[in-house]
Amino acid sequence: MNDQARTTEQMTELLSFRVGGQDYSVPIMSVREIRGSARATSLPHAPPYMRGVINLRGTVLPIVDLAARLGLDVEGDEARNVIIVVDLGERTAGLMVDAVSDILTIPDSEVQPPPDLAADGARGFVSGLTIVEGRMIRILDLHEVLPPPGEEAA
């Protein structure tokens, strides 16, 4: 990146990925692993973005179809999908995305809060915006994206 000289500034490391044709990212410290897609066991009475659960080395991992969750066009080709396993401290979940792009190091000063556009329902999922090499990267608020446990979504 072009900002490596400014070492004194607080930096944020992000994992960027593509989902529904757009660029998103999550703080890299919340990413536990990246793995290939597996056939998920679907959960009855679950919201549409809930792909189901998969077996992650003996634990039951719920999978969120991020494109559906963010209200983007869902790409049907499941084989190319990648699952980013994120850890929110109290629980773990998998985010199904199209492809992982890069690891970015961004100074905090270059992260802007998203403008307030009420028409867009997905706004609450984005906690910040930044521009890298001319592309706008959205930083996801994982606590908003993942439904709290115990929430019965029937």
Partner 1 sequence: MAEIRAAFFVEAEELLESLQDGLQLYDDGQRDDETINVVFRAVHSIKGGAGAFGLDELVQFAHTFETALDAVRSGALDPDGAAVKLFFRSADILADLVRAARDGTDLPADVTGPVLAALGELTGEEEEEEEVDFQPATLSLDLGGAGGDAGGAGGLDIPGLPPLPPLEAPQAPARSTWTIRFAPHDALLVSGNEPLYLLRALAEMGETEVSCDCTELPGLDTIDPEAAYLAWTIRLDCPPPEGDGPPVDEAAIREVFEFVDGLCDLEITAEAVEPPSDAAALPPLDPAPDTAPGAPADVAPAPIAAEAPTPAPADAPAAAAPPAPDLPRPAPDSKPAAKPAAAPAPEPRTATRPAATVRVDLERIDRLVNLVGELVINQAMLSQRVAEAGLPPNSPVATGLEEFMQLTRDIQESVMMIRAQPIKSLFQRMARIVREASSDVGKEVRFVTEGENTEVDKTVIERLADPLTHMIRNAVDHGLEKTEDRVAAGKPAEGRVTLKAAHRSGRILIEIADDGGGINRPRVREIAEERGLIAPDAQLTESEIDNLLFMPGFSTASEVSSLSGRGVGMDVVRSSIQALGGRVAITSRRGEGTTFSISLPLTLAVLDGMVVGAAGETLVVPLNAILETLTLGEEDLRALGPQTHVVQIRGGFVPLIDLGTELGYRAPLDNYMGSTVLLIGQEEGQRAAMVVDAIEDQRQVVIKGLEATYGRVPGIAAATILGDGQIALILDPPDLIAGASGRTRAANLPLAG
Cα end-to-end span (Å), the chain: 45
Number of residues that bind partner 1 (CB under 8 A): 27
Q: For residues 78 and 56, what is the distance between their CA atoms, to the nearest angstrom?
A: 18
Position 15, amino acid: L
Stretch 60-99 residues interacting with partner 1 (CB under 8 A): 60-62, 91-93
CB 40, CB 91: distance < 8 Å = no
Query: Minimum distance from CB of 43 to partner 1 (Å)?
Result: 6
CB 37, CB 82: distance < 8 Å = yes
Considering only residues 44, 89, 121, 134, which one is a binding residue for partner 1 as defined by CB under 8 A? 44
Q: Pattern of binders to partner 1 over 124-153, x per CB under 8 A?
A: -----------------------x-xxxxx
Q: Which residues bind partner 1 (CB under 8 A)?
A: 39-46, 52-55, 58-62, 91-93, 147, 149-154
